[in-house]
Amino acid sequence: MNEFITLMKPELLLMAMIFILLISKLGVGFNQSNLMKLIQGMLLINFIAGFFMNGEGQLFDNMYHTSSLIVLEKNILNLGMVLISFLFTDWFKKCDHLAEVFVLMLTALLGMFYMISSGNLLMFYLGLEMATIPVAAAATFNLEKKVSSEAAMKMILSSAFSSGIMLFGISLIYGAMGTLDFSEIPALLNGDSLQVMAFIFLFTAFAFKMSVVPFHLWTADVYEGSPIGITAFLSVISKGAIAFVFVSTLYKVFQPFHEIWYNMIMVLSVMTMLVGNLFALRQQNIKRFLAFSSIAQVGFILIGVSSNSIQGATSVIYFVLVYIFSNLAAFGVAGLVSFFTGKENIDDYKNFYKTNPLLSWIFALALFSLSGIPPTAGFFGKLFLLTSGASNGNYAFLIIAALNMMISLFYYLKVVRAMFMDKNENPILPIQINFATKIALFVCGGGIVLAGFFGFVFDYIQALVK
């Protein structure tokens, strides 16, 4: 029993929060701002509690397993959740269904935790569904807008489609091997064509969820239509969780197939970077712009995945940490602007610096980090991804990646130029920033600057991966 509590602590805490939120809707009504404080406090406690009393081991016949690395991954996701609750305070306070939004987001987070900890394909599938269905419901919470319903509809249909493909793959794996246990599958993989087919189906579903090109078509519409807090959750937390699971599944379970997935990842990565970058070039809406930029970032993550080494796994986890800071900072600023002014076009950001210097500096820092300009952490993240990718000796692949970094530099700096240099008759009026939001923005900014300089972060992750 004691072991059960220590090992499942992150999940149990999330469940406790979900039930507290549910009860808060009954009887004694909290007002919005008290409820928001309660939620932020609980998330903060949850994040801090993640560092203490952790164990390693497995439960329920290897259905659930955990290790220091998995605990670290969960802590990173918890951090992202805390930042989201602080960054979008204003939007959340205005939302009519505040408790429900957080119940749905926390359920999705719980699903991601199950998925990361799963030791069985069945449990993995359950976690994946739990990580998508509640977010699709939350995507429609801009109740008065039609695009919001459209986004939810597109997301639920495309995720159901990809789940169908994944289930088909899982059933083929069960048919070919007679087991779904992650610890038994590697020994049974012998390169049989049915197994390869099953693996490709599973891989496709992963690609769908990570919005890898050519499975990315849902991404931009869903990101544009959802309320911005949910968009940030989707693009940062969901994507990070899937990247973690992708790495551990490929490296541990499907290791015998690494020659097969190396080629697949290489082709997909090149396509993802190119399409993501080229489409981001011509976006006018800031949310769509960030959506395509996040597609391009996934392409870079895949370079790290393709290396099939300890360094590769480390660099992916490190990059996700950096990506959480930079992308959340970008979404935080875009969210403030769209909440207070309703403006979402890049042209509206012209001369943003004159009226909102703090916000434009944070935004610029985030964009620098996303494009990988030193000395921001994004530079180190990409550097590690590319060096681990280089260990395979496939230099043509790396040259394409480097060229893509140049393209991305162009469109990220275009926004920076609009903010700092372009003239505008009526720029966005000065925005009154909430105290909580300000803290979160500073944490993001600090993370972007400092995570690159503290080399022990990378070393620490690497020690855990081993």
Partner 1 sequence: MIANLPNYIFFFLAFIAIFFAIMVITAKNPIHSCLYLVLTMFAIAANYVLLNAQFLAIVQMIVYAGAIMVLFLFTVMLLNLNADSEPVKSNLMKFAGVIVGGTLLLLFTAALRKSIGDAEPVMNSIPMQIPNHSNVGLIQNLGWVLFKDYVFPFEAISILILSAMIGAVVLGKKEKVQLSTND
Q: Does 235 bind partner 1 (CB under 8 A)?
A: no
Which residues between 19 and 48 bind partner 1 (CB under 8 A)? Answer: 22
What is the nearest approach in angstroms of partner 1 to the Cβ of residue 252?
20
List, in order, residues 6 or more apart from 191 with CB less than 8 Å away.
256, 257
Which candidate, 231, 216, 328, places its Cα nearest to that of 273? Answer: 216
Q: Is 424 exposed, middle or buried (0-12, 13-18, 19+ CB in 10 A)?
A: middle
What is the nearest approach in angstroms of partner 1 to the Cβ of residue 108?
8
Which candidate, 17, 73, 11, 72, places its Cα nearest to that of 45? Answer: 17
What is the nearest approach in angstroms of partner 1 to the Cβ of residue 57?
14
CA distances to 40, 52, 82, 285 from 47, in Å: 10, 10, 7, 33
Q: Does 60 bind partner 1 (CB under 8 A)?
A: yes
Q: Does 298 bind partner 1 (CB under 8 A)?
A: no
Q: Does 77 bind partner 1 (CB under 8 A)?
A: no
CA distances to 175, 196, 420 from 192, in Å: 12, 6, 58
Measured distance CA(201)–CA(161) in Å, rounded = 12
Residue holding tokens 């016949």? Answer: 61
The DSSP symbol for 258 reads H
What is the nearest approach in angstroms of partner 1 to the Cβ of residue 72?
22
Which residues between 161 and 220 bind partner 1 (CB under 8 A)? Answer: 176, 192-194, 196-197
* 148 vs 408 by CB, closer to partner 1: 148
Measured distance CA(310)–CA(323) in Å, rounded = 20
What is the nearest approach in angstroms of partner 1 to the Cβ of residue 214?
13
Which candidate, 136, 163, 131, places its Cα nearest to that of 152? Answer: 136
What is the nearest approach in angstroms of partner 1 to the Cβ of residue 91?
16
Query: Applying CB under 8 A, which of residues 54, 140, 308, 371 lies at the interface with partner 1?
Result: 140
* 84 vs 302 by CB, closer to partner 1: 84
Query: Applying CB under 8 A, which of residues 84, 98, 110, 333 lies at the interface with partner 1?
Result: 110
* Partners of 57 in beta bridges: 66
Q: Does 64 bind partner 1 (CB under 8 A)?
A: yes
Query: Applying CB under 8 A, which of residues 27, 31, 61, 426 lies at the interface with partner 1?
Result: 61
For residue 428, the SS3 value is coil
Q: Does 264 bind partner 1 (CB under 8 A)?
A: no
* 165 vs 291 by CB, closer to partner 1: 165
- What is the binding site for partner 1 (CB under 8 A)? 15, 18, 22, 59-61, 63-64, 97, 100, 103-104, 107-108, 110-111, 114, 122-123, 126-127, 129-130, 133-134, 136-138, 140-141, 143, 176, 192-194, 196-197
